[in-house]
Structure 1
């Protein structure tokens, strides 16, 4: 059955591995560069640098946060490592564009990435014109999802009414605070079907078919 989203007028989307499939391998290339950076800053052997990177991700929701707190890393220096990353793995998806176009109300990006990365990816995907704004990690004072503070800052910046907001994410734990606020949550990705979390309201392997088939509010 199609999802009943007729009450939604604010559409909130994560960026990486949500607006494009994880299978593209693009995020994997980002992880390689993150490991390079952690290895360089800490002087650790690569395998230990990788473990530390993942430990910071698990603890703080973002590798950068751990690097800032424990190693005094400048976030601008960290984000710069992604700004020349090839976007070749990302492709236009006409079905996704059409599915997003039909959504009534506002469309927003809520990402732990920075503004430059978000702009590059959206432009490459051909989706920039469909979004009203990007709430990036700098907008959140480097407080990443799933921190309640990040959600509070984003909600205040865009006058979010959770009751009429749907949040789409590939990271299950990032949906928990959204559901607690009263948002409708949608887990995206090949792993979504296996989720049993009560705070996940809808699950889909890929975004476009889910949006295309959802029941939405008719235009006034």
Structure 2
């Protein structure tokens, strides 16, 4: 396993390590754009509001329910579907009605993604519309082969193993020639078990400014091959 040192310099990642990679798979939120952008805070607040209204709960109780669903089921939506049989389309439309101008275009990242050899995919627990709007604002949408979203996954979110199987089967991804980029360590366990290389995206300078503490658990696990807090620099180093 590659040592986790020089986070910003990504000194341990070399072109030789990725020479055989054909498929580059990227999570969306807090991965393609940095966590400090805090775009997901808008979605988070709207999820709390949805839960509060749907279950007739005060805001603080609704947030506890929301976070409990997120941790146990992978997404708040999955918990609501399993325990309350809600309409997923209504939920997704409501929570993704946000201001995407919070994201600054990143031409440097776009150039690095464009220059990668092989196919590039977005693999997200959000829906396609959210992914397209986010990637378009970031300036990277046109560089991706496809977006595999929660709808394509049959509403079963990462880190469920069946969802990775569905993605890889649909696009005929050979695990040994693929790499996955994610901001949640637990979401990289299955890809690593399948034989993919794994890259964990962490907040700049490891600042834990946003997110729940448990989201960062497992960062030092054996299923993490590389760690970086600068995606564009990392891609440049392995190209």
**Corresponding residue of 1:75:** 88
Q: Please, which runs of 5 or more residues in structure 2 have no aligned partner?
A: 1-10, 207-215
Whether contact under 8 Å (1:20, 1:90) holds in the other structure is yes
Deviation sequence 1:104-154 (CA, Å, 0-9, x none): 000001000011111111111111110000000000100100000110110
1:87 aligns with 2:100: yes
Which residue, out of 28, 41, 66, partners 1:53? 66
TM-score, normalising length: structure 1:
0.94
Instruction: Give 1:12-161 correspondences, 5 Å limit.
Output: 12-161=25-174
Whether contact under 8 Å (1:82, 1:117) holds in the other structure is no
TM-superposed deviation, 1:99: 1.2
TM-score, normalising length: structure 2:
0.87
TM-superposed deviation, 1:98: 1.5
Q: SS in structure 2 opposite 1:140?
A: coil
Q: Please, which runs of 5 or more residues in structure 1 have no aligned partner?
A: none
Whether contact under 8 Å (1:2, 1:213) holds in the other structure is no
Which residue, out of 225, 228, 233, partners 1:204? 228
Report the Cα distance in structure 2 between the residues aligned to 1:84 and 1:70, rounded to whole angstroms.
24
- Which deviates the most, 154-163 or 2-11? 2-11
Report the Cα distance in structure 2 between the residues aligned to 1:187 and 1:83, rounded to whole angstroms.
25
CA RMSD in angstroms comes to 1.3
Q: SS in structure 2 opposite 1:7?
A: coil
Q: SS in structure 2 opposite 1:88?
A: helix
Deviation sequence 1:154-185 (CA, Å, 0-9, x none): 01110010000000000111000000000000
Tell me how many residue pairs correspond in the alignment. Answer: 214
Which residue, out of 145, 165, 168, partners 2:181? 168
